[in-house]
Structure formats: C-alpha cells, structure tokens
C-alpha cells in the first residue's frame, strides 16, 4: 500500500506519463528475460525489438530546453557517471571470477587483462570484445551519443517551421545506414557505440513525432468504446511480429546483426514498439510495471550480477537457462527474471539513498 500510495502521488505531483513508465517496465523486463535466456525462439522474438523500444521511449520523454553544452553535461552526469562506476565494479569482479563464470557458461574469455578491460570501458563498444565483463552496459554510452545527436538535431530544427517534415527527412537519412551496414563489411567499430547510435536515431525521432503529434491521445480517442478492435489489432500485431522475427532469424542491435534482412528487422522492431504501447495502455495502473519502469537505470546497471548468480552459482537454475525452447526453462527464466528485478530494485533503492550520484541522481 505504501508503494502504491507513493507511486500514485508521484504521477499526481509531476507530469510523468504512466503509460511510458509501464512501457519502460515491460521493456526492461524483456531485456532481463532476454539476457537470462541463452537461446530459443522467445529470446529471438525479444531481441527483435527491445532495444529500439527504449530509444523510441527516450524520444517521447526527450525535452531539450537548454543550450547544447549544459544539456550534454546533464546527460553525462545522468548516464556516464553510473556507466563508469559500474564498469569498474564489473571489471574488478570479472578479474577474480571471470574464468569460473566462463567455464560454467561454456564460454571463452577473450581478454582478462585489467588494463585492456579499462581500455574497453573507455572505448565503450562491446563489439571489440573488450566489454566481456558486462556487455549490457554498452547501452549507456550509446544512449549518450543518441542524446548528443538529438541535441544537434534540435538546433537544426530551431526555427520550428515544417518540423514534422524535417523529422521525416532526418529519419529517412539515418535509415539509409541500415542498408549501408548490410552492404559494407561490418568492420568499423566506433567509440561509444556510435554505429549503434546512428541506427537508433530513427526510433528516437519517431518517439518525438509520437509525442509532438499527441498520438497517444488520438489512439485512446479512436479506440474508446471499440475494445474489440483494440484486441483484434493487438493480436494481429503480435502474430505478425512473431512470424517476421521467426522468418528473419536472430537479430541484435549491440552487434549490428539485423538477421536475414534489415527491412524485416525494422518491421519487427516497429511492430514490437506498437505491441508494447498497446499493452501498456491495457495495463494502466499496474503497480509492478510502473515501479520497475521508474527504476530502469537501477535494473540495467545491476541485473547482470544477479543473472550470473542464477546461471553460474545457483544449482536449482543453472541447468535450465540453456534450453530456451523448453516450456519449463522459460517458466524458470521468467521467475528468475522477476526475482532479479526485485533484487535490483531493493539494492538500487539502497544505493540511491546512500550514494545517489552513482545512480545518476
């Protein structure tokens, strides 16, 4: 009841949009579950859209009012400070326990040099195999770069004339990089995951269009008293997304892997975003997803540690995660994901009270 009261008070006292936090909560749950599963069709489905979803939601919440310098400084404190701190913690743990974890996971350590891992932290691109210590953290420097580009784009759009057409033009330009990455050999590895940031900008800009055109309210108005259309549309989107992700094969933004076709990847990711938004509307007032949506940073920073516990140290679960197509394995991984999220929330809450700066607050 205390959590429910505080959460409801937060939405009353601020301008936060509940459906966005629920969508973030769904997204971070899928990220944890996707990392918990080692393989399988469910993991393939999740990876087809969960990262673009977060960049789309970041676009919706994007608010550029200051000059570029102060904006970047603010985002650096919010994003890069937690990235550096938890990277160092991860490297220290990896130095002492990396080989044991790799042996248990039937994996190979690419580099166990502290110096090279620190170089990997500074370069901040997991594709050079120097972020084996905590690969999910690649998302933070990539997000920082997207915000940097977004700030420059807002300067370009300063006049606000024909802003919608300008955003469509920007999206079209950056979508070309999908095809470019398919044509040229995938050998360019840029610092701060810039190549991943470039292909995530269209989703970020789509989020901005979604906000500026008030599409959320328009969707609600259209579907008001048309629940049957809502459910039918949601089911069709889920069916199409699952089918296309199965046809396209495994895809992953982190490694610039679009599966069979970048076109299919784009379609899957857009369908996944639509599905998440529709479900977030259905789950209005869902306390669980609201709370985890409000704590996505804590979960992103901490979840890998708990996942490794379940995959490496816990005898009840480490034998199940590797068979992602088994119903029992999926159920166990879902349970472990929920436990992981709860643990991340508790630990993150303690850190926010004791040392909020390392959480970007």
Exposure b/e, 151-177, CB count within 10 A at least 16 = b: bebbeebeeeeeeeebbeebbeebeeb
Q: What is the DSSP letter of 274?
A: H
- Quote the CA–CA distance of 344 and 169 in Å, as a whole number: 40
Task: Give the start-to-end residue ranges of the domains of the chain.
Answer: 2-359
Please state at what angle helix 18-36 crosses helix 296-308, rounded to 10 degrees.
20
pLDDT tens digits along 297-346:
999 999 999 998 888 777 677 677 777 678 888 899 999 999 999 999 99
Q: Which pTM does this prediction carry?
A: 0.92
Q: How many CB atoms lie within 10 A of CB 350?
A: 11
pLDDT tens digits along 107-124:
655 566 788 889 999 999
pLDDT tens track, the chain, 361 positions: 545 455 555 555 456 678 899 999 999 999 999 999 888 899 999 999 999 999 999 999 998 876 888 889 999 999 999 999 999 999 988 887 766 655 555 665 556 678 888 999 999 998 888 888 899 999 999 999 999 999 998 887 766 677 888 889 999 999 999 888 888 767 778 999 999 999 999 999 999 999 988 888 777 777 666 677 788 889 999 999 999 999 999 999 999 999 999 999 999 999 999 999 999 988 877 888 888 999 999 999 999 999 988 887 776 776 777 776 788 888 999 999 999 999 999 999 999 988 888 888 7
Gyration radius of the chain over CA positions: 20
SS3 content of the chain, % helix, strand, coil (to 5): 75, 0, 25
């Amino acid at each position: 009841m205390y959590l429910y009261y505080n959460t409801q008070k937060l939405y009353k006292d601020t301008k936060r949009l509940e459906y966005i936090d629920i969508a973030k909560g769904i997204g971070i749950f899928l990220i944890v579950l996707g990392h918990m599963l080692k393989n399988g069709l469910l993991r393939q489905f999740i990876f087809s859209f969960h990262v673009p979803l977060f960049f789309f939601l970041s676009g919706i919440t994007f608010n550029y009012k200051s000059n570029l310098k102060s904006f970047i400084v603010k985002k650096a404190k919010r994003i890069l400070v937690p990235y550096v701190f938890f990277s160092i913690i991860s490297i220290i743990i990896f130095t002492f326990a990396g080989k044991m974890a790799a042996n248990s996971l039937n994996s190979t350590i690419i580099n166990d040099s502290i110096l090279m891992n620190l170089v990997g932290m500074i370069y901040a691109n997991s594709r050079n195999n120097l972020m084996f210590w905590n690969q999910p953290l690649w998302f933070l420097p990539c997000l920082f770069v997207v915000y940097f580009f977004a700030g420059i784009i807002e300067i370009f759009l300063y006049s606000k004339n024909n802003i919608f057409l300008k955003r469509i033009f920007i999206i079209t330009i950056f979508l070309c990089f999908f095809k470019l990455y398919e044509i040229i050999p995938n050998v360019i590895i840029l610092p701060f995951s810039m190549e991943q940031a470039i292909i995530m900008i269209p989703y970020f800009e789509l989020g901005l269009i979604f906000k500026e055109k008030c599409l959320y309210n328009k969707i609600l108005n259209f579907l008001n008293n048309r629940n049957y259309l809502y459910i039918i549309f949601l089911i069709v989107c889920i069916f199409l997304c699952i089918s296309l992700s199965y046809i396209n094969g495994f895809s992953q933004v982190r490694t610039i892997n679009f599966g069979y076709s970048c076109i299919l990847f784009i379609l899957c990711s857009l369908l996944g975003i639509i599905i998440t938004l529709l479900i977030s509307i259905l789950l209005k007032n869902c306390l669980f997803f609201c709370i985890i949506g409000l704590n996505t940073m804590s979960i992103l920073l901490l979840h890998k540690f708990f996942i490794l516990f379940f995959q490496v140290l816990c005898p009840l679960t480490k034998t199940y995660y590797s068979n992602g197509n088994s119903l029992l394995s999926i159920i166990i991984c879902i349970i472990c994901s929920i436990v992981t999220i709860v643990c991340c929330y508790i630990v993150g809450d303690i850190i926010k009270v004791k040392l909020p700066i390392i959480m970007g607050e």
